[in-house]
Amino acid sequence: MIRDKIVLGGLVGVFGKLAMDIFQLPMWKMKLVKHPLAHYAGSLLLDVGTIHHTLFGSAVSFMADYIYGIFLGIIFVYFVYCTGKRHLIFKGLIFGAFLWLFSFGVIRSLPIVKLREAVPGSALYQLFFHLVFGLGLGISVKLLSQRRWIE
């Protein structure tokens, strides 16, 4: 049984990021999306030219993105703890929609994020990715609570 909310949040954050990457990375490779969210996270730490032109830049970018996903998973678990375990999938979608506005809309526009590029279609793709992330969080918490792995 997982009783520690931080450990549980980290776990569901990884599940949410994996769900997001299942859709995001192939779309990036097919050039439907110019930058995956990892590039935006990596631009906090590295120069824009480094984040996707070197193996080191890609590794740092994806680690930063997963760490951010873990942190968001922890916040989601505390959100669920405060509001109850009912309607977890809907709560996950709401959380994902909020993250799209906050992360992609607000944080991306801050000067600390060096990568600012966003084409119009990309914003809609990013909404989809954030909804998938929220859905992954909600489904993960729901499955773990049904199996009595969490209280």
Note the pLDDT tens digit of each residue in 123-145. Answer: 888 899 999 999 999 999 998 88
List the domain range (segments joined by +) for residue 63. 5-146
Whether 74 maps to a domain, the answer reads yes
Whether 52 maps to a domain, the answer reads yes
**Residue entry with tokens 């110019």:** 34
pLDDT of residue 3: 73
Whether 151 maps to a domain, the answer reads no
Model confidence band, residue 58 (pLDDT cutoffs 50, 70, 90)? confident
Count of domains in the chain?
1
Whether 54 maps to a domain, the answer reads yes
To the question of pTM greater than 0.75 for the whole model, the response is yes
